[in-house]
Amino acid sequence: MINKIYKIIHNKYSRFLKFFFFLRYVFAIFLISVFLFLLIPKFFNYEKKQEIIKEYLVDYYDLELNNYSSIEFNVFPLPNLSIKDINLKIKDKPIFFNTKNLNIFLNFQNIYNYENFVAKKILLNNNRIDLDIDTTTNIFNYFGRLKYKLDIQDLNLNFKKKEKSILEIKKIDFSNHGYKKNRIKGEIFKKNFKAYLSDDNKNLNFKILNTGIKADFNFDKIHKINSISGSSKITILNNYLRFIFALQDNQIEVTKSNLKNQDLSISFDSLIVFNPFFEINSDIYIHKIDKKLINRLSLEKILKNQEILKKFNSNSKVSYNKKKFRNNFIKNHYSELNLAHGRLNFLSKIYILGGDIDCKGESLLIEEYPRLNFVCLFNLEDKKKLLKKFSISKNISKDPMSLNVEGSLNILNKKINFKKINIGKNYVANEEDMKYFKETFESILFNDDFFGIFRMNKIKEFLLEVI
């Protein structure tokens, strides 16, 4: 029975079976041919093709190939030329890539024929760029105008100033094509981040994962040579910052800036200069500030960062104007702060209930025990109004009073020395009086930290003691 069925199938489908078995050989021949087609190029000497490769990289990617260790052909994952340990330079720009591996993915017609050579894409893997901060716009402009397919994996981008590292962004992955087009990921401040750049290069969304930090940038002149400008919105937890910026040559101009949180509301304009020295010039306007924020400040912690203080140069003008003054202690305030190479010079004018205070001084903050030298003039037109604010009721003269105080504060040791204390021409403090004021000041106002001097409860206690 079985033999009969076999004969029927064999007679009826013999032609089909013969064709099927014939296809086996055709398929095998095809696979062997493809295998040989892809394998044979591994034995070619690609050193002879280096000029073609160099010309292609310059013409299509503006990349100048300087040095490399080897060129070889790889079959997987797709046919490509792998160039090891290379140095690349962006044409006409002082930007250099140190790359462990450059893969040039080939079209099939170029596997054997390198005439009219055009690749599918290139991949730069395991890269490092040391970039002078002054040339930052060059690299943004380069990637922004690139038309041909490029993948970058594991890029460490080190921003430097005078050979010293300022900021390093690590493990950057980027592609300008496909479903990952303009999606960037990497590591900054030891935290992972993701970013997305719009197709027209005008919008950049940036987020540091699991930190509450995100930023949106809108560019309006990204293609202008050596210039990037636009606006930004940045969120850091519950802090919100908006500003307009213009980065050009050696400086960044920041205008119409607003910073808000539950304790603080300020606006400011700043000019940040990178060359020849790092310097910040700012006009800062304080609209709202919670005294709890001041209480949390620690000048002692700031002074520990001496290396930063040495490099940080700034000129700042700070203004505060209380909109609803009513019975508040401070009406408005104006200060000028100049910091250069660790030396601080300042002057300030504070309008308070019943008068005003003018102060000026200087300090070398990078000393082991920095001392703040000061001269302050208290002009009190209405002393009773001031004392009433502190609920102090004493019989004192209504006459205006001019109090002049000179001295120095040892910030870390919490000590004060008075050089001169006088009230107009009627009173000049002697040594015994100045010793009393010193001991009282240190025990009441300066028994905690520097900013504790300005706490209202301590000022009241001090006034009760010395009046």
pLDDT along the chain (467 residues), means of 10: 51 55 59 58 76 92 93 85 93 91 88 83 94 80 88 93 84 92 93 90 90 90 67 91 87 92 92 81 91 78 82 90 70 92 93 90 92 93 80 73 92 91 87 92 88 83 79
pLDDT computed for residue 11 by the predictor: 53
112 with 25, same domain: the answer is: no
Q: 215 and 206 in contact (C-beta within 8 Å)?
A: yes
Residue 326 lies in a domain: yes
Residue 187 lies in a domain: no
36 with 60, same domain: the answer is: no
pLDDT computed for residue 217 by the predictor: 92
334 with 361, same domain: the answer is: yes
Domain that holds residue 9: 2-41
115 with 31, same domain: the answer is: no
Q: Could you identify the residue written with the tokens 């089909």?
A: 16
414 with 336, same domain: the answer is: yes
171 with 319, same domain: the answer is: no
pLDDT computed for residue 23 by the predictor: 60
Token couple for 315:
């000129």
Quote the Cα angle for 453-446-400, to 5°. Answer: 50
Q: What is the 3-state secondary structure (H, E, C) of the chain?
A: CHHHHHHHHHHHHHHHHHHHHHHHHHHHHHHHHHHHHHHHHHHCCHHHHHHHHHHHHHHHHCEEEEECCEEEEECCCCCEEEEEEEEEEECCCCCEEEEEEEEEEECHHHCCCCCCCCEEEEEEEEEEEEEEHHHHHHHHHHHHHCCCCEEEEEEEEEEEECCEEEEEEEEEEEECCHHHECEEEEEECCEEEEEEECCCCCEEEEEECCCCEEEEEEECCCCCCCEEEEEEEEEECCEEEEEEEEEECCEEEEEEEEEECCCEEEEEEEEEECCCCCEEEEEEEEEEECHHHHHHCCHHHHHCCHHHHHHCEEEEEEEEECCCCCCCCEEEEEEEEEEECCEEEEEEEEEECCEEEEEEEEEECCCCCCEEEEEEEEEECCHHHHHHHCCCCCCCCCCCEEEEEEEEEECCCCEEEEEEEEECCCEECCHHHHHHHHHHHHHHHCCCCHHHHHCHHHHHHHHHHHC
Residue 110 lies in a domain: yes
Distance CA 446, CA 304 (A): 19
313 with 347, same domain: the answer is: yes
Q: Which of 166, 151, 177, 142 is nearest to 99 (CA)?
A: 151
Point out the domain boundary residue: 126, 150, 181: 181
Quote the Cα angle for 111-116-120, to 5°. Answer: 55
405 with 460, same domain: the answer is: yes
Could you tell me the pTM of the whole model? Answer: 0.73
Q: 274 and 250 in contact (C-beta within 8 Å)?
A: yes
Residue 158 lies in a domain: yes
Q: How many domains does one find in the chain?
A: 3
Phi-psi region of 92 (alpha: psi -120 to 50; beta: other; left: phi over 0): left
Residue 239 lies in a domain: no
26 with 171, same domain: the answer is: no
pLDDT computed for residue 113 by the predictor: 78
25 with 71, same domain: the answer is: no
> Phi, psi at residue 108, to the nearest 5°?
-60, -30
